[in-house]
Structure 1
């Protein structure tokens, strides 16, 4: 007798035995000896088993994961339905509050079912299942559970975007929505493979940011695949991951541009060949440009730049500058360093005078619609992840965590920041 059948038999047996005992008490037959009972046709258990068989119940045994009334259920792979000694006829899964039905797929052999998409966090779901055995007899099962709440789970936001093509300086940067204390397990659940064969190592800048990079810039034309297997991983006490996904990106051609603050020139080198040398205007003596290796993290045809947002204010608290239409702007740091077009300075400034508040300025026209300017050319020829190296500035080196600029840390120090 199968376990499922036996469970049903025991339930019927309990009911029948109650009836037998009640009848015995009313009829005064409770004093029969075992010999008399056997002579009269068998034990109460045998009667119960025969009654269960006669009830014609289904042999199909339905299994549902998770358990009924479970909390903090994962939103990726924690829900599944299966059946033994039968086939699934229907599986209906709904969000109990909204009534939204969750689509799912029954396997070709009709023995398993899985939801088609990721579930929502902090949501109660109900699953109703019907199956049948070879005789066509129906079995039913219902289960209710609640998925993990945002307070009890973490997710990681990643750069670069899935499917993008980037420059050779682009790191894999992961930013978490909760502080991570179990760094080793979270880092170990990140798998990065590169077609170039380069070793890739992680570095924790703080409890919410983990970046990965090779020792040197990515080799051009490298394919990189990142697997985030955080579903069920405990990031901190009572906080587990809910992501299980893979993304990939392509490293394009190599473009590294070197800004010499003293000579006020920027040399643009692609795949080892000099494309152009452009006159620039870097930070003034009062507000010099950082030295170091900087990665382009954003591109904007036009953007507003207000000095107040980066600490440059007048006595009245207003920004020292507020330009609503800075053309061809590309971000180099979180703190506000850009390489951008400049239409408000005279043409003679570029290549001769450093006048900015720390940015790297290129000659441009207002409106960002003149593709003949130096700024427009450089904007069109650049992509996210390209590297700009600043040398011979009186300022300090760019901090590695100020933007995507971990290259300003030597390899030994970078490796020391891994939790593995």
Structure 2
């Protein structure tokens, strides 16, 4: 060794040859080049197109193409209760829609088959704030949602429906459900949709308007005993006539009691009382006199009065009679037909002569205090909704709307 330092290059070369040798280094370099060349190529083998790749995640994170549109606009006030609420989806399908008021009550509705729109099942309530949440998905399954709120109008003019029978009552098999409105209705279809009548056991129920302020509902035949009937009046927000809105939302239920149908034969002057299809009593009666005959037809008891005043002037008979204490009176028609106790005629009249002004009379005593009289017995055995049929009278058939006498109109004339 001559003592001169060895150059750095010579040292590095020696170290390289001593550790890995020339052929190994060349092989590694060639392999590295091959990997680099493969990874730099294009086409479908790129990792960017495989599940979980950066490009796939980027595509899934793109905004949904679906656009949800809601009318009325967010924050709108004095919104119409019908026709104003519209929810649609563009470039996608609606998947979920919820419309609810401040109490959490939801509005029923349905998404149309192609998912392009949602339609409410009925009108909205008046003076109510609603919240809307709607979600749609585009063709890639990405969701888009929108939330809005609005408040419906406060009507200046309103109407309600007075109904019979009363909620929770038990009535006879002939009782229809009848609603009288405080304002004349000029949009009957909208009001009809807001009244739902159901029964258990289920039976078809149809309706009929009388004028523009009354609607009655009934099945084809008398109700079956034990039937429970429910009427839902969803009138709040219904525009019954221009600028006049319903303000009533109520559910009414009543039950049908035993069957009692009594048949008055004006010719034989007798009445057969049938309970659940069996005759339980035959009672002598007096019907309308030749000049003031009793209506024929099926009549329903709508009112029971232990004592009442009957004045001929109120039903077009002038001053022919004014009896201040008629006992056991039960109304059969609006025009003044009753079946009632009669204490002023001789006992021999009943079953023998027709002497009334159109009512059906039963023997009674003044004040109605004798429970053994035919009139007292019949009064105690009868309930609102029982049927009294009059036949063989020389008069016309009572009109279906004269009282709650729906059974005198053919079934095919009642609307579904």
Q: Report whether the alignment pairs 1:297 with 2:302.
A: yes
Rounded to whole Å, the distance in 2 between the matches of 1:249 and 1:290 is 29
Rounded to whole Å, the distance in 2 between the matches of 1:235 and 1:336 is 31
Match of 1:231 in 2: 236
3-state SS in 2 of match to 1:187? helix
Contact 2:330 2:339 in 1 (8 A): yes
Rounded to whole Å, the distance in 1 between the matches of 2:75 and 2:240 is 24
3-state SS in 2 of match to 1:267? strand
Partner of residue 196 from structure 1, selected from 190, 197, 201: 201
Q: Report whether the alignment pairs 1:393 with 2:393.
A: yes
Match of 2:227 in 1: 222
Rounded to whole Å, the distance in 1 between the matches of 2:195 and 2:360 is 36
Map Cα deviations across residues 138-170 of structure 1 (whole Å, 9 max, x no partner): xxxxxx999533xx2111110000000000000
Please tell me whether Structure 1 or Structure 2 has the larger radius of gyration of its CA atoms. Answer: 2
Q: Residues 354 and 242 from structure 1, CA distance in 2 versus in 1: closer, same or farther, beyond 3 angstroms?
A: same
Q: Residues 67 and 325 from structure 1, CA distance in 2 versus in 1: closer, same or farther, beyond 3 angstroms?
A: farther
Match of 1:368 in 2: 368
Contact 2:155 2:244 in 1 (8 A): no
Q: Residues 186 and 384 from structure 1, CA distance in 2 versus in 1: closer, same or farther, beyond 3 angstroms?
A: same
Rounded to whole Å, the distance in 2 between the matches of 1:190 and 1:376 is 38
Contact 1:294 1:332 in 2 (8 A): yes
Contact 1:220 1:251 in 2 (8 A): yes
Map Cα deviations across residues 314-350 of structure 1 (whole Å, 9 max, x no partner): xxxxx20000000000000000000000000000000
Q: Residues 168 and 179 from structure 1, CA distance in 2 versus in 1: closer, same or farther, beyond 3 angstroms?
A: same
| Number of positions where the alignment pairs a residue of Structure 1 with one of Structure 2 | 285
Match of 2:329 in 1: 329
Q: CA deviation at 1:380?
A: 0.2
| Structure 2 counterparts to residues 11-410 of structure 1, below 5 A | 80=102, 147-149=154-156, 152-313=157-318, 319-410=319-410
Rounded to whole Å, the distance in 1 between the matches of 2:276 and 2:411 is 23
Contact 1:72 1:147 in 2 (8 A): no
Rounded to whole Å, the distance in 2 between the matches of 1:329 and 1:292 is 19
Contact 1:295 1:405 in 2 (8 A): yes
Q: CA deviation at 1:196?
A: 2.0
Gaps of 5+ in 2: 1-73, 82-98, 105-124, 128-150
Contact 1:71 1:148 in 2 (8 A): no
Rounded to whole Å, the distance in 2 between the matches of 1:182 and 1:68 is 26
Q: Residues 375 and 407 from structure 1, CA distance in 2 versus in 1: closer, same or farther, beyond 3 angstroms?
A: same
Rounded to whole Å, the distance in 2 between the matches of 1:307 and 1:359 is 12
Q: Residues 225 and 81 from structure 1, CA distance in 2 versus in 1: closer, same or farther, beyond 3 angstroms?
A: closer
Contact 1:69 1:146 in 2 (8 A): yes
Contact 1:158 1:172 in 2 (8 A): yes
Q: Residues 255 and 81 from structure 1, CA distance in 2 versus in 1: closer, same or farther, beyond 3 angstroms?
A: closer
Gaps of 5+ in 1: 1-65, 83-118, 123-143, 314-318
Contact 2:197 2:205 in 1 (8 A): yes
Map Cα deviations across residues 180-206 of structure 1 (whole Å, 9 max, x no partner): 111111111111111121111111111
Rounded to whole Å, the distance in 2 between the matches of 1:297 and 1:78 is 40
TM-score, with normalisation over the residues of structure 2? Answer: 0.65
